[in-house]
Chains A and B, each alone.
Chain A
Amino acid sequence: GAGVSQSPSNKVTEKGKDVELRCDPISGHTALYWYRQSLGQGLEFLIYFQGNSAPDKSGLPSDRFSAERTGGSVSTLTIQRTQQEDSAVYLCASSAGGGGRETQYFGPGTRLLVL
């Protein structure tokens, strides 16, 4: 498929455990974004990658959240010591460039539930 893919599609974990969420962007897209959508909320920006570097990490809610991108492609969002308030849909998007106006193409999201 040519779209953005994310895995797992659903994740249930216990409070205090670590989770890793994966995003495969559209091939050739240099920019990659992570968002979070909590119940009844809008899309909350988390982090933006241009290539392998992250010029904007301003949305990461705490130091329990980290992300990396390797080879200018796949990205992993890691949440350590998960809390119940981390429960949300985590969406990844990619765009051809990172100029801010480039259309972002979203994956289907990972639904995280922390018990």
Chain B
Amino acid sequence: DQQVKQNSPSLSVQEGRISILNCDYTNSMFDYFLWYKKYPAEGPTFLISISSIKDKNEDGRFTVFLNKSAKHLSLHIVPSQPGDSAVYFCASVFNKFYFGSGTKLNVKP
């Protein structure tokens, strides 16, 4: 029973364009959400987070949007750069972390 779902296993975007990564969750008790980025042969690294009391959090090129009524969050990267190519995991938190299966982003030069 996967409580956090990333339905797109991969996404390809042209450099300079916007990347939008999506994540859906089922448990309304989740109150904190994070995005992690993972390069091959490395562990995931924290990217950005958002509390359930907010609907948007921005950090440079990265913005996370939270739609609680739809139980949906998204990560926007703009402009996308080739170095952003990685696997992106969303995580939802209620007492512990629940991770999605990841979306592999490829930013083409």
Give how many A-B residue pairs fall within 8 Å (CB-CB).
55
Q: How large is the interface on A (under 10, 10 to 19, 20 to 34, 35 or more residues)?
A: 20 to 34
Chain B residue contacts of A103, Cβ below 8 A: 34, 46, 49
Number of B residues, CB within 8 Å of A: 26
Question: Do the beta carbons of B99 and A106 come within 8 Å of each other?
Answer: no
Question: Do the beta carbons of B43 and A43 come within 8 Å of each other?
Answer: no
Q: Is B101 an interface residue (CB 8 A)?
A: yes
Query: What residue in chain B is nearest A56 (Cβ atoms)?
Result: B96
Question: Do the beta carbons of B46 and A105 come within 8 Å of each other?
Answer: yes
Question: Do the beta carbons of A42 and B89 come within 8 Å of each other?
Answer: yes
Within 8 A of B (CB), among A10-51: 33, 35, 40-45, 48
* Chain B residues at the A interface, C-beta cutoff of 8 Å: 2, 4, 6, 9, 32, 34, 36, 41-46, 49, 89, 91, 93-102
* Chain A residues at the B interface, C-beta cutoff of 8 Å: 4, 33, 35, 40-45, 48, 56, 91, 93, 100-101, 103-109
